[in-house]
A = this chain, B = another copy of it.
Amino acid sequence: MKTFHAGLVGVGTVGTGVSKILLDKNSPLWEKLDCVPVLKGVADSNPDVKNKLNLPSDILFTTDAKTLLNNPDIQVIIELIGGLHPAKEIIMTALEKGKDVVTANKMLLALHGSELFDKARKHGKSISFEASVGGGIPIIAALRDGFIANRIESIFGIVNGTTNYILTKMTKENVKYSAALAEAQKMGYAEKDPTMDVEGIDSSHKLAILARIGFGVDFDYQCIYHEGISMVDLSDIWFAHELGYTLKLLAIAKKTENNIELRVHPTLLPHDHPLSSVNGVFNAICITGSAVGETMLYGKGAGQMPTASAVVADLVDVALGRAGITFKAMKTFSGCCERIPIASVSQFKTRYYLRFSVIDKPGVLAKISGILGNYEISIASVIQHKARENGNVPLIMMTHLAEEGNLQKAIAEIKKLDVIRDHTKFLRVEE
């Protein structure tokens, strides 16, 4: 039995999961493979980790990652610290020292992916990152290898379990955002400071990774439009439901005629869309390819063991030599992909859900639809309910395809009407 020596840097939730698999003498790896990755060293700034993991004496433990980086016996570094620094420096040094890298660090890849890939290529080494998107779902491999014969047309993903848990709770149990968030925090699905998740930032990191591989292009990460769920109003979930739509936080990468749209925002999907029934902390990614058509991969997008499952799959890929071959062969990882322009918000073209709060008097609908019409926005359906206690009436409209620039102008104009009360809400729709 051949072995391949791994050094693990960062023992948080996922790192602990990876150790569990690699330290398990009954691990399925030994049954399935003739070359198995084994843990040779572990680094964590917290010295208690050594006892927590119950590390055998033949595995080096250190509080200084450099010790692993300088160890010539270690062939691959598993970076599971997260964040930009010192993760980036550790990966750069590992590559310089001739070690392959496995990482789950979506933020680092989103922001500095090209630079890291460049470095890896320069040193003839590979970076594997299956665990950076969709936890245990083998989405990177599918997009990169499984669908290689395809031109990728679109990627639609629920790639953040925290927000999907919150939206599912709001939808199914009819609770407000704040209460659903509190519950997610209690369950350990949301951090104390939930900003990265709820504002769509984590999703935008993952979208950057998916879009680069899917479309084989490079772009400025900052161009990704992201909008979170913290402003989602329960009443919009109800009205949308009545119209046959479910609200999800989607990461969307889509080729249009002229450019590429990259956006993260609350999105209405028809009830029978495969993503509509993805609930709780589950993730799912729909990929449409020129040959394969519509596909979806579904599974747990986070958590200790699902994410560890993906990290270890990457490790096996490195150990067998496949990761190196892939990295070398794929132009996507050259760090020199074509840089392409990303659509601005005003260029987005979707259908829209609009909720106006209006005074209940004759002619209101005519005024609003008149302005929309002036901006080439045509209305697909309307619902109007009874007046609320404050005398205002919610007026809901679904539009046909429209440009967001036009929509913004129309809303600004509608806002000035004397029949309009409160803020006008709009949500983007995908089919």
Contacts and interface: CB of A to CB of B under 8 A. Distances in A.
Interface in A408-422: none
A230 interface: no
11 contacts: A32-B148, A33-B330, A274-B298, A289-B309, A291-B308, A292-B309, A293-B305, A296-B299, A320-B325, A320-B329, A322-B325
A295 B309 CA distance: 12
A308 B149 contact: yes
A300 B292 contact: yes
A312 B136 contact: no
Interface stretch (A48-56, A137-145, A202-210, A254-262): A137-145
Interface stretch (A21-29, A107-115, A345-353, A367-375): A21-29
A72 B151 CA distance: 32
A272 interface: yes
A107 to B, nearest CB: 23
A33 B329 CA distance: 5
A313 interface: yes
B321 A325 contact: yes
Given A17-B291, A294-B300, A28 B325 contact: no
Copies of this chain assembled into the complex: 2
Query: Which residue, A33, A136, A317, has most C-beta atoms of chain B within 10 A?
Result: A136
Nearest to A27: B149
A292 B303 CA distance: 9
A146 interface: yes
A326 interface: yes
Contact of A299 (B135, B136, B292): B292
A35 interface: yes
A277 interface: yes
A145 B146 CA distance: 12
Contacts of A33: 148, 329-331
Contacts of A297: 295-298
Given A31-B216, A145-B317, A148-B312, 13 more contacts: A27-B149, A130-B146, A136-B293, A137-B295, A141-B142, A141-B145, A272-B277, A291-B308, A291-B312, A295-B297, A295-B298, A297-B298, A298-B298
A322 B284 CA distance: 27
B294 A151 contact: no
B149 A141 contact: no
Interface string A309-334: 11011001100111001101111100
Contacts of A219: none
B308 A29 contact: no
Query: Which residue, A31, A135, A136, A148, has most C-beta atoms of chain B within 10 A?
Result: A148
A306 interface: yes
Contacts of A45: none
B277 A313 contact: no
A300 B27 CA distance: 33
Nearest to A147: B309
A138 B147 contact: yes
Query: Which residue, A17, A146, A313, A322, has most C-beta atoms of chain B within 10 A?
Result: A146
Given A292-B306, A329-B34, A149 B299 contact: no
Contacts of A151: 28
Contacts of A424: none
B305 A291 contact: yes
Interface string A121-144: 000000000100001111001100
Interface in A264-282: 272, 274, 277
Contacts of A294: 299-300
Contact of A312 (B138, B149, B299, B322): B149
Contacts of A62: none
